[in-house]
Amino acid sequence: MIELPALLTDCTSIPRVAPRRAVRLESWLPSRCQICHAWPAAPLCGTCVARFAAAQPRCGRCALPIGEGTPVCGACLHEPSPLDACLSAVSYAWPWSECLGRLKFQRSTGLAGALAALLMRTPGVVPALARAHWVIPLPLSRQRLAERGYNQALLLARKMVSRGIRTDLLVRVRHTPPQRTMSREDRLRSTRGAFSVDPTKISILRGRRVVLVDDVMTTGATLRAAASVLRQAGVAHITGIVVARTPDDRS
């Protein structure tokens, strides 16, 4: 049996993917809080996490904020997602938009551990990782990876689990332009056909449980496109986990 870190003792299932002790230890090494700038503190201090990362009810299929006691939003009931579940730690607003911007665009890769710890405290994330056969970070195109030098989703995944990460099963076959300024319709259009599954690896995916990891979810177009090709490859259950979700995916 794989021993879970102390902060994960609420998870009772035997994990196929082992959550890493490093996510807890690294996140609390003395440093300066990225939000309040307190020193010495964790990269994200407990006071700021409590203040800005309070849990809120979210749709279980798209992670949009939703009323208490409502498991799935109306949009997901009307148009079911290829994702079986979707979990988000916070809403994409200050200070998390700034922290994620530093990770993604300013090479502040040291924030990956603190943001992964934020994800690990999100209800449902630890059980999803524990039950997963494979954890798949959303791949970048070759062009984007060359520009950035690293995949932030892979950094997050590595801070959450010590094994089970696969970067060879899902392939980004088409480069898409930055989606920050796109409309919802344009985002959906740009991600169609952007992913593929290596046909020689389909037997590894068939009947398995998979967790997809990304940093930010806006319309959900990217996660849905990736989940669709995994579903076509025979994956039995797909959970998407993201650090931040935009409050509204209609814009």
Residue 36's pLDDT is: 95
pLDDT band at 173 (very low <50, low <70, confident <90, very high): confident
Digit-coded pLDDT (tens) for 4-61: 343 333 333 334 555 544 444 444 455 789 999 998 888 999 999 999 999 999 999 9
Residue 241's pLDDT is: 98
Residue 198 has pLDDT above 80, yes or no: yes
Tell me the DSSP string of 201-240. GHHHHTT-EEEEEEEEESSSHHHHHHHHHHHHTT-SEEEE
Phi, psi of 241 (to 5 degrees): -125, 135
What span, in angstroms and rounded, lies between the C-alpha atoms of 105 and 210?
27
- pTM of the full predicted structure? 0.84
Digit-coded pLDDT (tens) for 72-99: 999 999 998 999 999 999 999 999 999 9
Residue 93's pLDDT is: 95
The CATH class that applies to domain 58-63+71-245 reads: alpha beta
Mean of pLDDT values over 167-196: 72
Range scoring the smallest mean pLDDT among 57-66, 107-116, 189-198, 227-236: 189-198
Could you tell me the residue ranges of all domains in the chain? 58-63+71-245
Contacts 24+ apart (CB under 8 A), 69-78: none
Distances (CA, A) of 187 to 97, 171, 193: 19, 19, 12
Residue 207 has pLDDT above 60, yes or no: yes
